[in-house]
Structure 1
């Protein structure tokens, strides 16, 4: 019996309609984006550098060139 989960196998291939569309920058890293945006609105960009960098790191991890 295998201990692999369905998530670890990867996307299905060869089945029509299961291919993923490329991720758009506006939709990537919603968790870090929301926290960053709220911080910038409430405190100003200068006070949120750590959250800005965390969002950039997340975007880079997904393959975006920032």
Structure 2
């Protein structure tokens, strides 16, 4: 087996994992834009500690979309 054969076989053996999408058909990064924006602004202005309620609301939205979020 030559070097090119090695790379060809390893490429074919490991297909990329499927992209997970939520109920709306969007990836997790694009889901729940309204709660994400408010959360992000709050974190920049107050830090994570001051935005726990908004962080949790965003997580709830993502869970409602079907994503597993801790």
Aligned to 1:61: 64
Q: Separation in 1 of the partners of 2:41 and 2:25?
A: 27
Aligned residue-pair number: 46
Equivalent residue for 2:48, pick from 21, 35, 45: 45
Q: Choose from 28, 31, 42 the match for 2:31.
A: 28
Q: State the alpha-carbon separation in 2 of the partners of residues 55 and 46 from structure 1.
A: 15
Q: CA deviation at 1:22?
A: 3.6
Unaligned runs of 5+ in 1: 1-20
How many Å separate the matches in 2 of 1:43 and 1:22?
32
RMSD: 1.3
TM-score between both structures, scaled by the size of structure 1: 0.66
Please list every run of 5 or more consecutive structure 2 residues that lacks an aligned counterpart in the other structure. 1-23
TM-score, normalised to structure 2, is: 0.63
